[in-house]
Structure 1
Amino acid sequence: MNAITQLAQVGTSTWLDDLSRERIESGNLSEIIASKNIVGVTTNPAIFAAAMSKGTAYDAQIDQLKAAGVKADEAVYAMSIEDVRAACDLFADIYQHSAGADGRVSIEVDPRTSEDADATLAQARQLWKKVDRENVMIKIPATEGSLPAIADALAEGISVNVTLIFSVPRYREVVATYIKGITRAAEAGLDVSKIHSVASFFVSRLDTEVDRRLDKIGTEQALALRGKVGIANARRAYAVFTELFDAATLPEGANLQRPLWASTGVKNPEYPQDLYVRELAGAHTVNTMPESTIDAVLAGENINGDTLSGRAQAAEDLFKELENIGIDFEDVFALLEREGVEKFVAAWNELLELMEARLS
């Protein structure tokens, strides 16, 4: 028994927010699955950019791709798909034992198409087909332009990790999109019990932006509110999750779309490293973390049960207090979504530049 298994008892699955060829080939991923009770993996363009820019693990495949004359973006996806496929195989037993809820490995569509639903859907189909593993999840950003692609992908039987969610209003749209997509899948005669989805709510980035604004306000009241809104926002989202799915009429056999807490490595070193884990434990949730955060959780104290349920009113009160001292949340959430896409696009472009150099 450790803190990760205690999280699992409460209902929170722990996924690793990282993947690389080196982790797979060295046996590191297998080892942390066994020793740290990790039951899934998430990736993004920044993760693959970091993995492919160092070491020699990709050299042989790059040489093969160079000889084949492939373009940089094709090479990046060829290598990413190989890593994701191998990771899916390592998680196959967990996938079977959890009835498909866990043992999942996520791979993201090109972030440059986030406002183009048709292009996003086309790539989601392509990645789903090329990875060719039931336990893959295709990550699609929760931008206004991509929401139709999420519904269409689900309707076709593709399991989707809806990413880059910051606000509760957008989360409500994501849940409505999931229900629409899974209903269409059932109407098409698909086995909806095999279609899974998570809604990835970003946590620490909200604290970083709001803390910056609180520091600028500079009053004693403002400074006392730093480091609190990320958790409060997630708790508000969890209350909405409970509200909406309690009221929803899902097709027979359909799964809940679980909230996934992302960006849970603290950005401020003054905050406890496990802050966004211990305070966000609850039924039907996932927490994806960098390994340093996983290690901090394992080294820390026991998990104190459910820290999500019954916290919505306190969270709402905190938001009102922040609004009263001048925090414009409409502006905050719009900025975070825009920056979230821009950061992934920048990482993707950096990776393409690196690969073009390697291929030439």
Structure 2
Amino acid sequence: MTDVSNNRLAALSEAGVSIWLDDLSRERLESGNLAALVRDQHVVGVTTNPTIFAAALSKGESYDPQVRELAARGASVDQAVREITTTDVRNACDLFRATWERTEGLDGRVSIEVDPRLAHDTERTVAEALDLWKTVDRPNLMVKIPATVAGLPAITRVLAEGISVNVTLIFSVERYRAVMDAFLAGLEQARANGHDLSQIASVASFFVSRVDTEIDKRIGELGTPEAEALRGEAAIANARLAYVAYEEVFGGQRWRELAQAGARPQRPLWASTGVKDPAYSDTRYVDELVAPAVVNTMPEKTLLAVADHGEITGDTVTGRGEAAQEVFDALTEAGVDFDDVFAVLEREGVEKFEKSWAELLETVTEQLDRTKG
């Protein structure tokens, strides 16, 4: 690792961005790869999702010993998936325990997602979140809950139990405001339930690149010069508007009362930061979203690109809300229906994770069957 790349990642961290890796596998853990990223690349947390686990289970032989043990026990496929995924997450939590202690619980966090098939079922989401928390049994865990309409009350109820939550699949500022409201309500209930608010952490995962992918497609369909001039502008503007909302809510009186009781703010987390369109810089969703007190969770490819040639020039978010709103106003004028965009993105996001979960179940079924012979 060169001094230059270390300097880029150090500059990102010093600007207030916590660098989390958007990936986890048994191979990363056992090979020392994840530990090396923590040591050399300023990585201070990990996020997972069903797609990540489906990919991990389909490659290599790292899971074979555990699969053999599970098969010998007669475990069902659902039991096997639960044990395999929570084992990886528990071990990752242990790896990040020193980071968690050094940052007094701010970072060193590892996220695991509730079954995506429960995205529209509040009661079962709450039950699964509680079970995941107990099963992993590590204080630096975060349970991921989607920001669907059914997910919002689940977020509040899980936080009220003193459990740290990563809210995922947020696409619009309107829904993000509802997520922050659910967070504040959850902390208020947690305080009433006697929990130590300083021990509860939360992030709000605001998805970035998928917004450009969907809106750029619609810009192409509109085919006007006015629309084309805005290609690639939406996602960063959307995230910057989210940060404006974050500053507003966490500068308000309702938050100040919770902060006085020891609470920590729910940090914005930029997710889906790998660039989908090769026409764009592969570091744009990092370079253009530098701000104090945020998380950027990156696939390793993006992390290494930032280390190699990222352009970290300080805060690129604060004070840019007005310009971001102008982008949205121009896109609306050009014919982009944002309500429909965000509805499509949420639906497709849930469907993608459901598909990955089905692939994960299929892979584990095949491995169990093969082991049984």
Looking at structure 1, the residues matched to 36 and 147 of structure 2 have their Cα atoms a distance apart, in angstroms, of 33
The alpha-carbon deviation at position 302 of structure 1 amounts to 4.4
The answer to whether the aligner puts 1:321 opposite 2:330 as a matched pair is yes
Which residue, out of 13, 20, 26, partners 1:15? 20
1:62 lines up with 2:71 in the alignment? no
Q: Deviations over 1:163-214 (max 9, x none)?
A: 0000011000000000000111111111110100000000000000000000
Q: Per-residue deviation at 1:216?
A: 1.1
Give the alignment partner of residue 174 of structure 1, picking from 179, 192, 195: 179
**CA distance in structure 2 between the partners assigned to 1:270 and 1:244 by the alignment:** 35
SS class of match (1:318): helix
* 2:340 paired residue among 331, 343, 346: 331
Aligned-partner residue type, residue 256 of structure 1: P
- Whether 2:274 is the aligned partner of 1:265: answer yes
Counterpart amino acid of residue 337 in structure 2: D
2-structure distance, mates of 1:179, 1:250: 10
Residue 345 of structure 1 pairs with residue 354 of structure 2: yes
Partner of 2:97: 92
Partner of 1:299: 308
> Is 1:355 aligned to 2:364, yes or no?
yes
Q: Is the Cα–Cα contact under 8 Å of residues 2 and 302 in structure 1 kept in the other structure?
A: no
Match of 1:287 in 2: 296
1:204-219 mapped onto 2 (5 Å cutoff)? 204-219=209-224
Q: Distance in 1 between matches of 2:310 and 2:206?
A: 25
1:237 matched residue in structure 2: 242
Q: Deviations over 1:236-282 (max 9, x none)?
A: 00000000110133421000000000000000011101000010011
Other structure's SS at 1:34 match: helix
Q: Paired residue for 1:149, among 136, 150, 154?
A: 154
Work out which of the residue numbers 17, 40, 44 in structure 1 matches 2:45.
40
Question: Whole-Å Cα distance in 1 between the matches of residues 308 and 334 of structure 2?
Answer: 37
For structure 2, the residue ranges without an aligned partner over 5 or more in a row are 1-5
- In the other structure, the counterpart of 1:110 is 115
Q: Which residue of 2 aligns with 1:225?
A: 230
1:67 aligned partner, one-letter code: A
Aligned-pair distance for 1:96? Answer: 0.6
Whether the 8 Å CA contact 2:283–2:310 is kept in 1: the answer is no
- Aligned partner of residue 2 in structure 1, secondary structure: helix
Q: How far is the alpha carbon of 1:220 from its aligned partner?
A: 2.2
Aligned 8 A contact 1:6 1:302 in 2: no
DSSP 3-state at the match of 2:251: helix
Counterpart Cα distance in 2 of 1:85 and 1:181: 25
The CA distance in 2 between the partners of 1:73 and 1:53, in whole Å, is 16
Amino acid at match of 1:249: R
How far the C-alpha of 1:301 sits from its partner, in A, is 4.4
* Residue identity in the other structure for 1:330: D
CA distance in 2: counterparts of 1:18 and 1:31, whole angstroms:
14
- CA offsets per residue over residues 298-343 of structure 1, 9 Å max, x none? 1114411111100100010000100001000000000000000000
Question: Given the superposition, is the C-alpha separation of residues 335 and 302 from structure 1 closer, same or farther in structure 2, using an over 3 Å criterion?
Answer: closer
Judged with a 3 Å threshold, the aligned counterparts in structure 2 of structure 1 residues 301 and 45 are, in CA distance, closer, same or farther, namely: closer
Return the TM-score normalized by structure 2.
Answer: 0.95
Deviation, 1:74, is 1.4
Partner of 2:331: helix, strand, or coil?
helix
Q: Which residue of 2 aligns with 1:26?
A: 31
For the residue of structure 2 that corresponds to 1:298, the secondary structure is helix
RMSD of equivalent CA atoms:
0.9
Percent identity between matched residues is: 55
Aligned to 1:128: 133
Q: Which runs of 5+ in 1 are unaligned?
A: none
Match for 1:138 among 136, 143, 148? 143
Change (3 A) 1:299 1:131: same
Give me the TM-score of the superposition, normalised by structure 1. 0.99
Task: Summarize deviations over 1:14-43 as a string: whole Å, max 9, x none.
Answer: 000000000000011001110111000000
* CA distance, structure 1, for counterparts of residue 127 and residue 152 of structure 2: 14
- SS class of match (1:288): strand
Counterpart-to-counterpart distance in 2, 1:106 and 1:250: 28
Which residue pairs with 2:3 in the alignment? none
Distance in 2 between the 1:301 and 1:107 partners? 29
Aligned to 2:166: 161
Contact 2:205 2:271 in 1 (8 A): yes
